[in-house]
Structure 1
Amino acid sequence: MTDRKTRQVGPGEARSMARRRRYFTYVAFGGLVGGIAGFATGFFDQGDGNLFAGDWELLRLPPALALVIAGLLLAGFLALPIYSFRLIDDYQREQGLIGYSGGYLGVMAGFPTWAALYGGGFVPAPHAFGIFAIGFVSMCVSYLYARWRL
């Protein structure tokens, strides 16, 4: 048996280790972006906004901070995922695209369905957080389905 310190790492194993490190770096970056945005929004809110309750109109942030938070969110939710699609293998890319497509389709079907049910008096009026939740949950479900079934 070889000692771990003297064992040579093959090219495939080296690529796998680099891919794993890159993955954890992206997860850490995403968590950092979310943590900074959430903390800054909660700490520096000058109004009585409650994003989970849908009180968007009561949210008051300093303009410079709002721009920083918006930039961080665009980097974390848009730029990083698009950039990462070129760094992963075809199978993982397909799973991610199926997940994103499922989220998109969930929103495209969920909002009109919700609006129709609201018109019939069955549910409260559609709101931004609910639409985001529909997209997020359907993206997660679609990704997990693709991961387990494909």
Structure 2
Amino acid sequence: MTRPLGPGEARTRQRQRRQLVFITIAALLGGAIGFTTAFFDKGDGSLFTGDWEALSLDPALAVILAIALVVGFMVLPLYGFTQVDEIKREYNLIGFTGGCIAVITGFPVWAVLYAGGFVPAPHAFGVFAIGFAAMMVSYPIARFVR
């Protein structure tokens, strides 16, 4: 015999289901963007090796992918903030702030190290990778170190 769920438990389960659906939608969108880019690329470019100059897409497809990227990188995260509780929202905001600070700091540091001959010239994917990696590090720090 099971006892009925209390209102807090029911709300938590509902939130967990919504989070699973949200993550699934984000993963499907990311997979669709990656697959579409790879499948319809008419050139020899690659987003991961830094030679995106050789990437060639139909203009209409490029616009569709750009819109999908805006949805995936901006709309979904902002919507996600409205769907989580205050504590998780705070952790996420700290993670996003860490990524932003890393980009704001990382590019000038990279530029002066390049000027000194220590590293190759800064490029867009590297700046993106700095921000992404910093978010991935900032979130667990906010979550587990505080």
TM-score normalised over the length of structure 1: 0.93
Q: CA deviation at 1:126?
A: 0.7
Q: Is residue 2:52 matched to residue 1:56? A: yes
Cα distance in 1, alignment partners of residues 108 and 63 from structure 2: 31
Which of 6, 15, 34 is the equivalent residue of 1:19?
15
Partner of 1:44: 40
Which of 69, 79, 85 is the equivalent residue of 1:83?
79
Q: CA deviation at 1:103?
A: 0.1
The letter for the 2-side match of 1:72 is A
1:74-126 deviation digits (Å, cap 9, x = unpaired): 11110111111122111111100000000000000000000000000000011
- State the superposition RMSD in angstroms: 1.0
Q: CA deviation at 1:64?
A: 1.7
Partner of 1:147: 143
- Gaps of at least 5 residues in structure 1 are none
Partner of 2:67: 71
The letter for the 2-side match of 1:115 is A
Which of 118, 123, 126 is the equivalent residue of 1:127?
123
Q: CA deviation at 1:48?
A: 1.1
Cα distance in 1, alignment partners of residues 130 and 72 from structure 2: 19
The letter for the 1-side match of 2:22 is Y
Cα distance in 2, alignment partners of residues 34 and 106 from structure 1: 23
Cα distance in 2, alignment partners of residues 143 and 122 from structure 1: 30
SS in structure 1 at match of 2:82: coil
Cα distance in 2, alignment partners of residues 34 and 87 from structure 1: 20
Aligned length: 146
Partner of 2:89: 93
Cα distance in 2, alignment partners of residues 99 and 52 from structure 1: 23
Cα distance in 2, alignment partners of residues 83 and 52 from structure 1: 27
Cα distance in 2, alignment partners of residues 55 and 118 from structure 1: 19
Runs in 1 of length 4+ with deviation above 3 angstroms?
none
Cα distance in 2, alignment partners of residues 126 and 100 from structure 1: 22
Bigger drift between 30-39 and 55-64 goes to 55-64
